[in-house]
């Protein structure tokens, strides 16, 4: 989802370090990572570098132009471990029980049906894997999407638990975001 709250990489990097976030959630070499609502690759590209040639990254976004930009950046870096798809997350299951991490990078509030998206994530994650939601705090601030469409931490937790996932950890991720890690 390249809509609400997405900024060019330079500006976003000032307050969000994708490599540090990905390492913090346990992304390692050889992992399989799925970036749902990937935009043009703010998290996808660093994930592909981190998992290495023997790892795999899947990326999905409804914005085909964003997917084209992602593919162009990946080609420039000669990253061959990314499979991208322009599609709605509500209608997309990229694999069955293949992912070590299914990741939502500041997008869960943007989906038309976040419950269906989370159910799809549950299908894609391994039994030992994690589903991670990084999202905007529901606080007034100049950055990000309108306050009324954001999920508070409690709202996001209830949503995630409503599909049968178990919360492992909830914490701040910088001044503007929270991070929720869940498992099946």
Burial state string for 96-130 with b = 16 or more CB within 10 A and e = fewer than 16: eebbbbbbbbbbbbbbeebeebbbbbbbbbbeebb
For residue 4, what pLDDT is reported? 37
C-alpha 57 chain-centroid distance: 11
pLDDT averaged per 10 residues, the chain (length 184):
43 77 97 97 97 98 97 97 98 96 95 97 97 96 91 97 97 94 96
Pick the CATH number of 9-183 from 3.30.420.40, 3.40.50.150, 3.30.70.1560, 3.40.50.12280: 3.40.50.150
Cα end-to-end distance, the chain, whole Å: 24
Residues 101-138: tens digit of each pLDDT: 999 999 999 999 999 999 999 999 999 999 999 999 99
Task: Give pLDDT, residue 2.
Answer: 39
pLDDT value at residue 16:
83
* Count of C-beta atoms within a 10 Å radius of residue 19: 14
The domain spans of the chain are 9-183
Q: In what order do the strands lie in the sheet with 166-173?
A: 82-86, 56-61, 32-36, 99-105, 125-136, 177-183, 166-173
| pLDDT score for 1 | 43
The reported pTM is 0.92
């Amino acid at each position: 989802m390249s809509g609400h709250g997405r900024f060019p990489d330079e500006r976003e990097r000032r307050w969000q370090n994708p490599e540090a976030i990905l390492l913090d959630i346990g992304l390692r070499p050889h992992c399989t990572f799925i970036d749902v609502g990937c935009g043009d690759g703010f998290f996808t590209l660093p994930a592909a570098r981190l998992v290495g040639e023997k790892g795999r990254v899947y990326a999905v976004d409804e914005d085909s132009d964003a997917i084209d930009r992602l593919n162009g950046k990946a080609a420039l870096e000669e990253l061959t471990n990314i499979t991208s798809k322009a599609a709605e997350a509500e209608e997309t299951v990229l694999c069955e029980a293949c992912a070590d991490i299914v990741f939502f990078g500041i997008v869960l509030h943007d989906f038309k049906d976040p419950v269906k998206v989370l159910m799809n994530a549950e299908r894609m994650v391994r039994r030992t894997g994690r589903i991670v939601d990084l999202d905007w705090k529901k606080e007034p601030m100049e950055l990000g999407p309108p306050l009324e469409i954001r999920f508070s931490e409690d709202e996001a937790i209830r949503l995630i638990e409503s599909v049968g996932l178990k919360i492992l950890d909830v914490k701040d991720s910088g001044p503007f975001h929270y991070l929720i890690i869940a498992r099946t």
